[in-house]
């Protein structure tokens, strides 16, 4: 089993589906890596993330899941769809909600019939390889000969040549945050520290399957960096499974707050999704999953290694220490922010609960906590640069 190629195919297929959705739902708000609020599920479900959440102008919602199974064997494809089938049965029924399942393979007819005949399922569309190629021809005049990694790269290259700005923009499109930085003192910087839950447990459960670890973490680095960049921030560094990211001051605090909320919601979705992927390939059940996040605001000093003051730059500042300490106190899929950040950016956000904590080497501090799997406010449905 080649995890490297398998995860790469899954990533490319998700990007292709994202491009189709951006074209087909051009007037809708699209959220990738959507962490599902608990209130949307009738029962406790192990799965808590879908690849895309779409809110149409009418208020109806579409949830999209993509799958590119490692193995094209019909039994593997049926098992993949059966797992999604079990998940869909947990959803609260709603006439304004429908689902799309896109699979990079031909779906066995018996599986299609079982989905279509179950009245308990919500409105559901199955997109198999043939259907996706039809959609690609209609929307981009391109077709995949196969859904191998090489062929999907060709499809994406052609799509990107005509798509100036959409959910399928390439990671290499530019790091806007970095271009504004220089050596010196920067004030009112929002600092985010985020950590992938149970990383060490997953590594232990993987045993000597080092390629599995590399394949999952490769997607983690790429997907989280793209999410942060697309929300106007930039990644300062990765520390194993930990992220240090910054947002420079710009515009009104409320605008920045909405952007950060949207970004953290997507980061949590990425953590949950990759944990699901990882769990499929190990024996031991690993919990908890998702991300823990801490954030603060303050002065950050950027120091160059070189006399010319150019990259690479390294950051120091109390806000970085505070964000890291708050992240260490956070529960899975929550964000803890400092008092200063709450006042500066989130003064009217009632989803934060006031708490007291005693972070290491800091002493008792007042802080604010938000659980992203229980929040259902409209800010989580807001569009971002990858959306409409």
The CATH number of the domain where 249 resides is what? 3.30.70.1230
368 in a structural domain: yes
pLDDT given for residue 196 in this prediction: 98
Q: What is the DSSP secondary-structure string of 366-384? A: EEEEEETTT---GGGG---
- Other residues' Cβ atoms within 10 Å of the Cβ of residue 326: 29
60 in a structural domain: yes
Domain containing residue 158: 3-169
How far apart, in whole angstroms, are the C-alpha atoms of residue 134 and residue 127? Answer: 10
How far apart, in whole angstroms, are the C-alpha atoms of residue 295 and residue 205? Answer: 30
* Residues 187 and 55 both lie in one domain: no
How far apart, in whole angstroms, are the C-alpha atoms of residue 175 and residue 159? Answer: 21
How far apart, in whole angstroms, are the C-alpha atoms of residue 53 and residue 33? Answer: 8
Provide the Cα torsion 333, 11, 192, 342; round to 10°. -60
- Other residues' Cβ atoms within 10 Å of the Cβ of residue 132: 22
Residue for token pair 């922010």: 337
Give the global pTM.
0.89
Residue where a domain stops, chosen among 154, 169, 184: 169
pLDDT given for residue 385 in this prediction: 39
pLDDT given for residue 10 in this prediction: 93
Residue 204: helix, strand or coil by DSSP? helix
* Residues 147 and 205 both lie in one domain: no
Q: How many helices (H) and strands (E) does the chain have?
A: 11, 13
Residue where a domain stops, chosen among 123, 153, 169: 169
* Residues 238 and 213 both lie in one domain: yes
Residue for token pair 């981009």: 140
Q: Which residues contact 235 (CB under 8 A, 6 or more apart)?
A: 224, 225, 228, 229, 243, 244, 245
pLDDT given for residue 77 in this prediction: 75
* CA distance from start to end of the chain: 37
If one counts the domains in the chain, the total is 2
pLDDT given for residue 235 in this prediction: 93
* Residues 198 and 140 both lie in one domain: no
Residues of the chain with pLDDT under 50: 165-167, 169-179, 379-388
- For residue 361, count CB atoms less than 10 angstroms from its CB and return exposed for 0-12, middle for 13-18, buried for 19 or more: exposed
105 in a structural domain: yes
Phi/psi of residue 78, each to 5°?
Answer: -65, -40
* Residues 275 and 377 both lie in one domain: yes
Residue 280: helix, strand or coil by DSSP? coil
Residue 26: helix, strand or coil by DSSP? coil
387 in a structural domain: no
Residue where a domain stops, chosen among 169, 184, 208: 169
* Residues 138 and 188 both lie in one domain: no
């Amino acid at each position: 089993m080649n995890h490297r190629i398998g995860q790469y195919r899954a990533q490319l297929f998700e990007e292709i589906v994202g491009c189709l959705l951006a074209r087909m739902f051009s007037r809708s708000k699209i959220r990738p890596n959507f962490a599902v609020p608990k209130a949307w599920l009738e029962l406790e479900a192990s799965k808590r993330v879908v690849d895309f959440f779409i809110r149409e102008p009418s208020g109806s919602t579409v949830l999209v899941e993509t799958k590119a199974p490692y193995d094209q064997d019909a039994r593997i494809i049926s098992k993949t769809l059966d797992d999604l089938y079990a998940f869909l049965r947990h959803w609260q029924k709603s006439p304004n909600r429908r689902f799309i399942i896109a699979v990079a393979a031909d779906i066995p007819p018996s599986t299609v019939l079982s989905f279509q005949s179950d009245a308990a399922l919500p409105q559901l569309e199955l997109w198999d390889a043939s259907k996706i190629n039809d959609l690609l021809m209609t929307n981009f005049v391109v077709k995949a000969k196969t859904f191998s990694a090489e062929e999907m790269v060709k499809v994406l290259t052609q799509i990107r040549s005509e798509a100036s700005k959409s959910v399928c923009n390439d990671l290499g499109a530019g790091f806007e945050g970095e271009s504004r930085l220089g050596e010196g003192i920067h004030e009112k910087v929002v600092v985010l520290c985020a950590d992938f839950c149970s990383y060490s447990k997953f590594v232990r459960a993987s045993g000597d399957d080092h390629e599995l670890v590399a394949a999952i973490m490769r997607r983690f680095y790429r997907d989280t960096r793209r999410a942060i960049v697309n929300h106007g921030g930039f990644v300062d560094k990765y520390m194993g499974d930990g992220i240090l990211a910054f947002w420079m001051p710009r515009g009104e605090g409320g605008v920045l707050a909405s952007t950060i909320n949207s970004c953290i919601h997507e980061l949590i979705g990425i953590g949950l999704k990759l944990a699901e992927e990882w769990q499929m390939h190990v024996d031991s059940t690993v919990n908890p999953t998702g991300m823990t996040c801490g954030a603060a605001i303050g002065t950050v000093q950027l120091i160059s290694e070189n006399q010319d003051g150019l990259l690479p730059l390294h950051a120091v500042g109390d806000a970085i220490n505070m964000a890291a300490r708050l992240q260490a106190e956070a529960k899975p899929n929550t964000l803890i922010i400092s008092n200063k950040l709450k006042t500066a950016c989130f003064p009217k956000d009632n989803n934060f609960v006031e708490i007291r904590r005693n972070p290491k080497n800091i002493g008792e501090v007042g802080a604010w906590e938000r659980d992203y799997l229980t929040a259902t406010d409209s800010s989580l449905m807001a569009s971002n640069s990858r959306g409409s």
